[in-house]
Copies of this chain bind each other. A is one copy, B any other.
């Protein structure tokens, strides 16, 4: 796990810009978090990727754990998902959220910007990060999406939709199963859409199986 780009030019003591340094560290941390997870990444690697001295991790974040927590919290995907949940009508939600997920991580093997509450699942073995992920999912899906669903078990149905997106993201961005790794958005959309329809519509009164 040393792959990510060495980044940054070695230019003397480095430009003295606290904000930029902080932000570079966070970006590097996000990248490494999605690849190696919490325990699989060292602060040295992160600092190297950010082109920054290792000890600045401690200056700016206090500890490896806090750096990674902040990195995990800082997710564009999460923000976008939440915005979508407020603005977009239910029937367009599946496609919109699919787009968020697809943008969030580059296709498997690619090297684009890593992001998304989803890719961070890799880091779920670390307790504090798992809690953070759980909170995010709860707010965004169980609560926000759930409250918009008619019929029985709204939280559960919302979470099941989240499950599909999470599984999809994992298989596409991390594991690389043959179909999901390469299928384009437009082929994918109708299927995700129909899962959404099934889960978002009020279920028929449950006949015990």
Contact = CB atoms under 8 A, between A and B. Distances in A.
A171 interface: yes
Q: Name the residue in A37, A133, A164, A179 with the highest tally of chain B Cβ atoms < 10 Å from its Cβ.
A: A179
A122 B40 CA distance: 12
Contact of A199 (B146, B153, B159, B191): B191
A102 interface: no
Q: Name the residue in A183, A191, A197 with the highest tally of chain B Cβ atoms < 10 Å from its Cβ.
A: A191
A111 to B, nearest CB: 16
Interface residues of A, number: 61
Integer count of this chain's copies in the complex: 4
A126 interface: yes
Contacts of A95: 209
28 contacts: A36-B39, A37-B37, A95-B209, A121-B121, A124-B174, A138-B177, A142-B178, A146-B179, A156-B183, A159-B177, A160-B180, A160-B192, A163-B164, A163-B167, A163-B171, A163-B180, A164-B164, A164-B167, A166-B170, A166-B171, A167-B168, A170-B170, A189-B209, A191-B198, A191-B199, A194-B199, A195-B195, A197-B198
